[in-house]
Structure 1
Amino acid sequence: MKQVDGQKLLESFGDAMKDVRGRMTPDAPMDRVTWFHAGGLAELMFQPHDVDDLVTFLKGLPDDVPLTVVGVGSNLLVRDGGIRGVVVRLSAKGFGDVELAGENRIKAGAICPDKNLSAMALDNGIGGFAFYYGIPGSIGGALRMNAGANGGDTSERLIEAHAVDRKGNIHVLSKAEMGYAYRHSSAPEGLIFTHGVFEGYADDKAKIRQEMDAVRHHRETVQPVREKTGGSTFKNPEGHSAWVLIDEAGCRGVLNGGAQMSPLHCNFMINTGQATAHDLEYLGEMVRARVFEHSGIKLEWEIKRLGNFMPGLEIKPFLGVTTE
C-alpha cells in the first residue's frame, strides 16, 4: 500500500524552488539508501548540489513541511510506512570532500566516509584519527552522535562544526557548543551539518599505519562487516558492554523473520535476506525486553529509527514490558 505522495508535495512548492539546482525525487525508496536494505518511501528526497543550494532550498521550504536529514544510511532504520515530508540526503559530490585546513588540521564534508578522513590523516602524517578507520559511517553522523571506536571519539578531534538550520541560516559551532557526551550531542536537532574541521598531531606514518591496520583487523575479525547491518545496535550502558548483556540474556543469533542478532557479534543486527524494517525493529525491542528481564538494565538504541509504522504493525518499546 502506497503511504506517501511525493509528486503532490513537489507540485505544492510552485515557484518557490525554481532556483534550486539539486535533485528532487518523489516517493524515493529508502531501502536503497540504508545499509539494512529495508524500509518504506521518503515522500520527497532532496539532494542539494552544494551548501548554497541547500540554503536556497531551505529558504523556500514551507514551515509546515516535515524535514528529515539522512547521511549514508549506515546507522539508520527507516520504518516500512515511510517518511512524511522532505528527506534531505547530502550528495557525495557537494559534501564529500576532505582536505587539509592548516597545520595538522583537516576539513571534511558531512558525507565524507569516516575512513577517508583517517586515510587523509595517514597521508599527511597526522595522528589521532586511526579510530575513524573502523567506523562505517560518514562525518555528518559522527558530528551528530559523537561517533567513536577503539578508544577514540569525535569530541577529541573536533575544532568546529558547520551547519545550516531549517530557515537556511549558516552556523559555526565550537566543540563546547556541540555539548558532547557518550554517543550524543546536545546541538539543536534541526541543524544540518555540512562539514567539520578537525585537529590531530604530527606523528610517524608507519605508526599511524600500524594503528589503522589494528583497527581494521579487529573490525574484520569480530564484526559482521559483509552483512546487511547498521553497526552497533545499542549503546554500551555505563559500566557494561551491550554485547555481553545481550549474550548473557541468550540473544546471540536470535531470529525474528529475516532479522537476526549476529552470531559473530551479538550487538550487531543483520538483515539475513528479506527482512522488513518491522522484523528488525521488533527484534531489537525483543532483545531489549529480554536483557531487561535478565539483568534489569535498559539498553538504549544506538541505531537511529525514522518514519512511520505500517497501520496495525506498531511496535512498543520493550514490546510493552513494564520497565518502571
Structure 2
Amino acid sequence: MSWQDQLPAVRGKLLKDELLGPFTWFRVGGPADVIFLPEDAEDLAAFLKALDPAVPVTPIGVGSNTLVRDGGVDGVVIRLGKAFAKVESRSDNRIFAGSAVLDAILAREAGKAGIAGLEFYRGVPGSIGGALVMNAGCYGSETKDVLVEAYAVTRSGEQITLSNADLEYSYRKSARAAREQLIFTGALFEGRPDEPSAIEARMAEITERREKTQPIREKTGGSTFKNPPGHSSWKLVDDAGWRGKPFGGAMFSPLHSNFLINTGEATAADLEGLGEAVRADVKSKFGVELEWEIKRIGKPA
C-alpha cells in the first residue's frame, strides 16, 4: 500500500494526480501526487503532524511566481484557499491578512482603513504567503519594511508566530522560511496614518505605471530574475538581445524584458529552457550571474 492510500483524515479536500498548470499563472506543469486544500490552519497543522515525515510537502500559494515542471511534483502540494483569505484592520495602524489574500487586495483594504505604507503591494503579483516567503516588494519598498509578525505551520505540524527579525530577511528571501519549510497562514502589518484618498491616489499611480510597463495580462510569473548587485536584470536580458525573441512557446516580453511569458502553447521545458539560455548568454557576454526569482518546482517530463 502506497503513502497516498494512507493519508491522514482531513476536513478540507485531497485531490490525487491533479494537474498543477491550472493552479499557476503560467498555466503549465504536470500533476501533483496529492493536492491538499485545508479547511483552516488547524486542519493544516493536524494533517502535517500526522503525515509521514518522509513525504515531501510543497506550498504553492496562488502560483504567481511558480513554474511547475512538466513531470509534476512528488508528494503533497498545499494550496490555501478561502479560510486564509481574510483581511482585518486593527488599531494602531495595523492590519491582518491571511496568506491567500492577494497582495493588491491588502493594499486596497489598508488604503480604505487609512493605513499608508502598504501601497507598494498594489504592484506585486501574487499573495501574502508568497510575499512572506520571498520578502516581496517593488518601487523601493519590501515586505520586511511593514511586517510586524507572521503566523506559520512547520513541517511537523506546529503552529508558530515569528517576529520580523525571526524571518532573517534579505533581498527576495527569508532564510528562516527556506531552512524550516514554513507554510505561512497569515501576517500582521503596520503602516502609518493618512487620508484614504491620498493613499488611493498613490496606488492609482502604481497601477498606471505597472500597466504601461509590465505584461500583466499575459501568462507570466512576474520578475524572472533577481537584480544582481549593481545591475538591473531587465537591462542585462535586453542588452543580450532576448527581448521579444521566441523560444518554443516562450518569450521574454517585448514590454518588459525581465518578464518571461507563455505566448500560448509553451511547456514548462520551453519556459525554463529559455531562462537557462538567457542566463548562459548573459554570463558569457557580461560576466554576470543571473539568479532565478521564479520558484521552479517538480521534475522534467
Identify the match of residue 293 of structure 1 among 275, 279, 284: 284
| CA distance in 1: counterparts of 2:214 and 2:25, whole angstroms | 15
Q: 1:175 is matched with which residue?
A: 164
* SS at structure 1 position matched to 2:241: coil
Query: Shift of the alpha carbon at 1:27?
Result: 0.5
| CA distance in 1: counterparts of 2:5 and 2:149, whole angstroms | 38
Identify the match of residue 59 of structure 2 among 51, 59, 69: 69
Note closer, same or farther for the CA distance 1:262–1:226 as it changes in structure 2 (3 Å cut). Answer: same
Residue identity opposite 2:226 in structure 1: K
Q: 1:320 is matched with which residue?
A: none
Q: RMSD value over aligned CA atoms? A: 1.1
| CA distance in 2: counterparts of 1:168 and 1:12, whole angstroms | 17
Residue identity opposite 1:96 in structure 2: A
Identify the match of residue 43 of structure 1 among 33, 51, 72: 33
Query: Shift of the alpha carbon at 1:229?
Result: 0.3
Q: 1:228 is matched with which residue?
A: 219
CA contact (8 A) 1:158 1:197 kept: yes
2:117 maps to 1:128: yes
Q: 2:5 is matched with which residue?
A: 11
Q: 2:265 is matched with which residue?
A: 274
For each residue in 1:124-157, what CA deviation from the matched residue of structure 2 results, as whole angstroms up to 9, or x when unmatched?
1111011000111100000010000111110000
* SS at structure 1 position matched to 2:174: coil
Residue identity opposite 2:259 in structure 1: F
Q: 1:240 is matched with which residue?
A: 231
Identify the match of residue 81 of structure 1 among 50, 71, 93: 71
Residue identity opposite 2:4 in structure 1: L
CA contact (8 A) 2:89 2:96 kept: yes
Query: Shift of the alpha carbon at 1:8?
Result: 5.0
* SS at structure 2 position matched to 1:187: helix
TM-score (norm 2): 0.97
The structure showing larger relative contact order (alpha-carbon pairs under 8 Å, at least 6 residues apart) is 2
CA contact (8 A) 1:101 1:197 kept: no
| CA distance in 1: counterparts of 2:103 and 2:152, whole angstroms | 18
| CA distance in 2: counterparts of 1:8 and 1:277, whole angstroms | 28
Aligned length, in residue pairs: 299
| CA distance in 2: counterparts of 1:211 and 1:151, whole angstroms | 14
CA contact (8 A) 2:214 2:255 kept: yes
More displaced 10-residue stretch of structure 1: 170-179 or 275-284: 170-179
Q: Which runs of 5+ in 2 are unaligned?
A: none
Q: Which runs of 5+ in 1 are unaligned?
A: 1-6, 311-324
Query: Shift of the alpha carbon at 1:255?
Result: 1.5
